[in-house]
Amino acid sequence: MMFAAQSIADFFQGFGGWQYVIAAIIHAVLLVHVFAVSPFAFIWLERKVSGRIQDRLGPTRVGGLFGWLQSLADGIKLVQKEDLCPSAADSMLFRSAPYIVCVSSFAAFMVLPFSHGWVAVAADCGLFIILAILSLEVFGIIMAGYSSGSKWSLFGGMREAAQMVSYEIPLAICALVPVIAAGSLNLGEVGGMQRGWFTNWFMFHDPFTFIAFFVYFVVATASCKRAPFDLAEAESELVGGFHTEYSGMRWSFFFMGEYASMFAVCGIASILFLGGWNTGLAPIDDALYAARNASIDGTSGSAAVGYLANVIGAGVFVAKASFGVFVQVWLRWTLPRLRIDQVMTTCLKYLVPISCFLFLGATLWPLIMVTGMGRTTWTSPIGDRAAQGLQETRDGNRVARISDAGNLDAAQARVGDTGHIGEGVVQ
Amino acid sequence: MNGESFLFTVFALATCLGAIAVVFSQTVVRMAFWLVISLGSTAALFFLANADFVGAAQLLIYVGGTLVLLVFGVMLTASGPYLKIATSPGEIVMGSCVGLLFLVVVYASLNGVNWRKSPAAATENSNPVVATGKTLRPIGLSFLGSRPDQDLTSDGDTLTPGYLLPFEIVSVHLLVVLIGAAYLARAKRRAGE
Amino acid sequence: MTGRRIGLIQNSKFLLVRSSMTADLNSYLFVGAVLFVCGVVCMATKRNGIGVLMGVELVLNGANVNFVAFSRYTDLGLDGQVFSLFVIVLAAAEAAVALAIALNFYNNHLTIDVDRANKLKG
């Protein structure tokens, strides 16, 4: 596993072999901060947006004009609260359930690339890993629901189990639709392939990916148990659902996990469908791309320029993902909550068949395009996108090769296997 | 001790202790909790052994799917809170003694085998696909029936084709299981009603 | 692979300490053996039907650890990983069917204590 921390590592060249360790630590700290700060920002956003939608002001006092420190004040309040454990609860499970939720949604950030090569673990099957890790969160929720020793919690936990087990299927299938277009599960590669004008984004790749984006977004909203699918907490019928008996920090861990996984699924959506860290404007993208490459080659420009390009890319990515979170918040305060049977019907009778149809269509689309129009995508002639993907892959390999400078053989081997499917077959 | 060994130690301990805790837990949901710890750490061991795809499949199918299903089953079959069908202490002592003996036998026998073809063979598989952990595409292609990771033209003694037929059989098997399980578990009247 | 012909108790204790220090084939196999044995003991002692099922999962996982370890450290290569994928998929199928049976048993007997499944006893 490689810590693709090129740009920061370049700053620490003088430290001998330690630069990667230092870069890894810095990136780990940054990631922890993303995980810790983003829920605070999103909780503030939620309160502000809900206030505006309901014709209120929302928080206004703490921290000045927009009340932007409100979440911090809430956090301090929650830390001070008593940590209760009901006598009817199974205390070991009750106490450990919030950590399962928190850890599993945090671990998802491990394989989520923020910019070109800015990913903690550049796994070859990154999408698969991130979906797998996100699916662990449900276990913590069920644990919490079961171990609380309260019927409201038990109902919440059962609903969550039934809902998550069903919604994982369309979630995975919809995430596979752009993967068919990309030919890679590596999130870094998928993001890099969408460089150029925004028509290169996989959302606009074919009609099936276009619909798949919206289906994915609905299913992702449900899998974060956000309204209108928040049956697991359903405060109007179940008091607080699975977290009825929780208080203080343990309660807030559930919400840190929830907001972090909202950011994670929206980040996946932005990489798979919305171009990831690419701005969608070809001249800007190409300039940023050239700056990154120059810093890797070390020919012209310094490491700082490439680093700055990556910072801009990460900013674009975070902006896209945050917009997705904003839409989820918007939906929550706009739509009424469904009933549990309606939630299950929506999934099993509509979303699963729709996503299967989209999957089938996406596999047939290249055939239709090649036989009908003589090209593989509607934006570019045959082979263009594949060539770009190959180029991205080669850049990735160059990064890999530089990063294990002492291990050239492994890097050479990697060049052979990460190539596009065509190349792999040839070899 | 290098990083890999340290991580291996941590996750191997978590795996083993989780498995042992499964044996000694009395309530089913606690067993499920320890099973999650154990199987999740096993997935981490798979990641350490460069089997990324298998590790992710383990997390997604086992921990995220099968275990949630099991806990769901616990909830459906519990006649009261924290269902406890206790094993008698004698059986536990007996079981652990037999298990310990069994473990010693298994471990002694697996230490008695030389797993390498020749003493000079490398301690790790030098196949570039396995050694670098880029197993995703080779596994996918092997399910389609071709083996990019093996050189079939050499004088190797194994001519292993891909896994297209087993893959298809497993697919049909899963469909059969899906239908069969839904049929078996359909709502029925209870006995005596 | 140094201490091959070993005595039983004290040597395996020593090996336990040694094997938990480095990641090599025998350490992986030891973890697999522990999982396997725990699974067998679990299957033998648990009276709850779902507990027995969890024992089966542990046994299958022990086998998986072995497959992956052989895949990395011996000539088995990719085959080991493919095998373990099949094991995972079949374990999921097995769990679904076994759970359906357990639910059926519960519907008929109002318990999932496997010791009560003795209707066919002569």
For residue C7, the model assigns a pLDDT of: 40
C-alpha closest to that of A100 among A145, A143, A129, A146:
A143
**Which tens digit of pLDDT belongs to each residue from A337-366?**
888 888 888 888 898 999 999 999 888 887
Distance CA A363, CA A359 (A): 6
Whether C108 and chain B come into contact, CB under 8 Å, resolves to: yes
Touch between chain A and chain C: 3 or more Cβ pairs under 8 Å: no
Mean pLDDT computed over A91-105: 85
Q: Which residue of C has its CA nearest to B189?
A: C107
Interface test with B, best of A92, A142, A356, A418 (most B CBs within 10 A): A142
Between these two residues, A231 and A415, which has the higher pLDDT value? A231
Contact C53, C43 (CB under 8 A): no
Q: Where are the beta strands (DSSP E) in A51-182?
A: none
Cβ–Cβ below 8 Å for B106 and C37: yes
Cβ–Cβ below 8 Å for C57 and B62: yes
For residue A379, the model assigns a pLDDT of: 61
Give every CB contact of residue B185 below 8 A, 6+ residues apart in sequence. C99, C100, C103, C104
Indicate the residue of A132, A418, A427 with minimum beta-carbon distance to B56: A132
CB atoms within 10 A of CB A63: 15
Residues 43-102 of A with CB under 8 A from B: 88, 90, 92-93, 96, 100
For residue A360, the model assigns a pLDDT of: 92
Task: Give the side-chain half-sphere CA count within 13 A for B88.
Answer: 4
Q: Is the dihedral of CA B32, A237, A240, A255 positive or negative?
A: positive
Between these two residues, A5 and A384, which has the higher pLDDT value? A384
Q: Tokens standing for A369?
A: 């395009």
Interface test with A, best of B24, B74, B132, B175 (most A CBs within 10 A): B132
pLDDT band at A76 (very low <50, low <70, confident <90, very high): confident
The CATH number of the domain covering residues in B1-91: 1.20.120.1200
Angle at A176 between CA B68 and CA A265, to 5 degrees: 65
Q: Which residue of B has its CA nearest to A169?
A: B65
Whether B71 and chain A come into contact, CB under 8 Å, resolves to: yes
Q: Which of A19-23, A403-407, B11-15 has the lowest mean pLDDT?
A: A403-407
Which residues of chain B does CATH 1.20.120.1200 include?
A: 1-91
Between these two residues, A101 and A196, which has the higher pLDDT value? A101
Give every CB contact of residue C7 below 8 A, 6+ residues apart in sequence. none
Interface chains of chain C (3 or more CB pairs under 8 Å): B
Mean pLDDT computed over A45-56: 85
From the options 3.40.50.2300, 3.30.70.270, 1.10.287.3510, 3.30.479.30, give the CATH code of C10-116. 1.10.287.3510
Indicate the residue of A136, A164, A413 with minimum beta-carbon distance to B63: A136
Whether residue A424 is predicted with pLDDT greater than 60 in this model: the reply is no
C-alpha closest to that of A134 among A268, A261, A31:
A261
**Which tens digit of pLDDT belongs to each residue from A146-204?**
888 777 888 888 888 888 888 888 998 998 888 888 878 888 888 888 877 777 788 88
Q: Where does residue C30 rank: exposed (0-12), middle (13-18), buried (19+ CB within 10 A)?
A: buried
Mean pLDDT computed over A266-288: 83
Q: Tokens standing for A21?
A: 């360790």
Cα–chain-centroid distance for residue B107?
19
Cβ–Cβ below 8 Å for A139 and B36: yes
What's the gap in Å between the CA of A418 and the closest CA on chain B?
Answer: 7
Whether A197 and chain B come into contact, CB under 8 Å, resolves to: no
Q: Tokens standing for B187?
A: 């709502």
Cβ–Cβ below 8 Å for A165 and B65: yes
For residue B173, the model assigns a pLDDT of: 92
pLDDT > 90: percent of chain C:
12
DSSP codes joined into one string, A41-107: HHHHHHHHHHHHHTTS----STTSTT-TTHHHHHHHHHHHS-----TTS-HHHHHHHHHHHHHHHHH
**Which tens digit of pLDDT belongs to each residue from C66-122?**
998 888 887 777 888 888 999 999 988 888 888 888 888 887 777 777 777 777 765
Indicate the residue of B5, B76, B130 with minimum beta-carbon distance to C71: B130
DSSP designation for A337: P
Per-residue pLDDT tens digits of chain B, which is 193 residues long = 566 777 888 888 999 999 999 888 878 888 888 998 899 899 988 888 888 888 888 888 888 888 888 887 877 776 665 566 667 788 888 888 888 898 888 888 888 877 766 555 566 666 666 666 677 778 888 888 777 666 666 655 555 567 888 888 999 999 999 888 888 877 665 555 4
DSSP designation for B151: -
For residue A419, the model assigns a pLDDT of: 38
Residues 46-105 of B with CB under 8 A from C: 46, 48-51, 53-54, 57-58, 61-62, 65-67, 69-70, 73-74, 76-77, 79, 83, 85-87, 91-92, 95-96, 98-100, 102-104
For residue A389, the model assigns a pLDDT of: 58
- Residues of chain C with Cβ-Cβ distance to B69 below 8 Å are 95-96, 99
pLDDT > 70: percent of chain A:
79
How many helices (H) and strands (E) in chain C? Answer: 4, 0
For residue A422, the model assigns a pLDDT of: 35
Whether C13 and chain B come into contact, CB under 8 Å, resolves to: no
